[in-house]
Amino acid sequence: MRLIGNIIWLVFGGLEIAFAWMVLGLVLCISIVGIPLGLQAFKMAGLTLTPFGKTVTYGGGAPSCLANAVWVVLAGWWMALGYVIAGLINCVTVIGIPFGLQSFKMAKLALFPFGAQVV
């Protein structure tokens, strides 16, 4: 299921979204201040490229919590909202439920990327 799910995901938009995350990461890494944000964008690009079969573990302690608080206020909430809307649309049909669940996984990572690891 992982291979087939990832292929379908890539064909129907995953490749374009991952490319957008990569471009965002490159733009953010231009300045030294933006490098931590760019690294989080690269993390999202990796998960967006092939989400099936990957899990996200959260940790990192207080510094990650503080960075996530700033991230949520500046950009995370609208990115996560987009993934939640896509997940709800996917979950309308039985065939789309696995893709909706992957969108929800990415919504959580888009909301709280600092301290998260994609395994």
Over residues 7-42, the pLDDT tens digits come to 999 999 889 999 999 999 999 999 998 899 999 999
Over residues 45-73, the pLDDT tens digits come to 999 999 999 999 998 888 899 999 988 99
The structure's pTM equals: 0.87
Crossing angle (nearest 10°) for helices 15-28 and 35-49 = 170
Report helix, strand or coil for 13. Answer: helix
**CB < 8 Å & 24+ apart, contacts of 7-11:** 8/99, 9/50, 9/51, 9/52, 9/99, 9/102, 10/49, 10/50
pLDDT of residue 22: 95
Which distant-in-sequence residues (6+ apart) come within 8 Å of 80 by Cβ? 107, 108, 110, 111
**Are 47 and 10 a contacting pair, CB within 8 Å?**
no
pLDDT of residue 16: 92
pLDDT of residue 1: 78
